[in-house]
Structure 1
Amino acid sequence: MRNDHRYAGKFRIGREIEVNRLGYGGMQLTGKGVWGDAPDRENAKNVLRAALDAGVNFIDTADSYGPHTNETLIADALFPYPQDLLIATKGGFERTGPNQWRVNGNPEHIRQAIEGSLKRLKRDVIDLWQLHRIDSRFPVEETLGPVVDAVKAGKIRYVGLSEVDVEQIKLAEKTVPIVSIQNLYNLGNRQWENVLDYTIERGMAFIPWYPLASGPEKLKTKISGIAGRHNATTAQIALAWLLKRAPNILLIPGTSSLQHLEENMQGGNIQLSDEDFKALS
Structure 2
Amino acid sequence: METPFTPPLPGGTWRLGDSTVTRFGYGAMQLAGPWVMGPPADHDGALAVLREAVGLGITHIDTSDAYGPRVTNQLIREALHPYPESLFIATKVGATRDAQGGWPTARRPEDLRKQVHENLDSLGVEALDLVNMRMGDAQGPRPDSIAEAFETLVALQQEGLIRHLGVSNVTAEQVAEARGIAPVVCVQNMYNLAHRHDDDLVDHLAADGIAYVPFFPLGGFTPLQSEALSRVASRLGATPMSVALAWLMRRSPNILLIPGTSSTAHLRENIAGAGLALSDEDMAELDGVGRA
Give TM-score, length-normalised by structure 2.
Answer: 0.89
User: Could you tell me whether the CA contact under 8 Å between 1:129 and 1:159 is conserved in 2?
Assistant: yes
Instruction: State how far apart, in whole Å, the 2-side matches of 1:36 and 1:215 are.
Output: 23
Q: Percent identity?
A: 39
Q: Which of these residues, 227, 237, 245, is aligned with residue 243 of structure 2?
A: 237
More displaced stretch, 147-156 vs 224-233: 224-233
Query: What is the one-letter code of the residue matched to 2:61?
Result: I
Deviation string 1:22-61 (CA, Å, 9 cap, x unpaired) is 1000000111111112221111000111111122110000
Shift in Å, 1:276: 0.7
Query: What is the one-letter code of the residue matched to 1:37?
Result: P
Q: Which of these residues, 62, 81, 84, is aligned with residue 82 of structure 1?
A: 84
Residue in 1 that maps onto 2:265: 259
Deviation string 1:182-211 (CA, Å, 9 cap, x unpaired) is 000001111222221221122110000011
Shift in Å, 1:168: 0.6
5 Å-filtered alignment, 1:103-122, equals 103-122=105-124
Deviation string 1:87-146 (CA, Å, 9 cap, x unpaired) is 000011021034301111101000111111111111111111101225879852221233
1:248 maps to 2:254: yes
* Change beyond 3 A, Cα 1:266–1:216: closer
Q: Which of these residues, 257, 260, 273, is aligned with residue 279 of structure 2?
A: 273
Q: How many residues align?
A: 277
1:53 maps to 2:61: no
Q: Give the secondary-structure state (helix, strand or coil) at the position aligned to 2:230.
A: helix
CA RMSD of aligned residues (A): 2.0
Residue in 2 that maps onto 1:4: 8
Q: Give the secondary-structure state (helix, strand or coil) at the position aligned to 2:34.
A: coil
Shift in Å, 1:69: 1.3
Shift in Å, 1:248: 0.1
Shift in Å, 1:246: 0.2
* Change beyond 3 A, Cα 1:20–1:137: closer
User: Could you tell me whether the CA contact under 8 Å between 1:180 and 1:205 is conserved in 2?
Assistant: yes
* Change beyond 3 A, Cα 1:100–1:124: same
Q: Which of these residues, 228, 237, 241, is aligned with residue 222 of structure 1?
A: 228
More displaced stretch, 134-143 vs 30-39: 134-143
Query: What is the one-letter code of the residue matched to 1:3?
Result: P
User: Could you tell me whether the CA contact under 8 Å between 1:188 and 1:215 is conserved in 2?
Assistant: no
More displaced stretch, 258-267 vs 222-231: 222-231
Deviation string 1:220-261 (CA, Å, 9 cap, x unpaired) is x32233223433221111110001100000000001112111
Instruction: State how far apart, in whole Å, the 2-side matches of 1:89 and 1:33 are.
Output: 18
User: Could you tell me whether the CA contact under 8 Å between 2:143 and 2:174 is conserved in 1?
Assistant: no
More displaced stretch, 191-200 vs 23-32: 191-200
Shift in Å, 1:216: 6.2
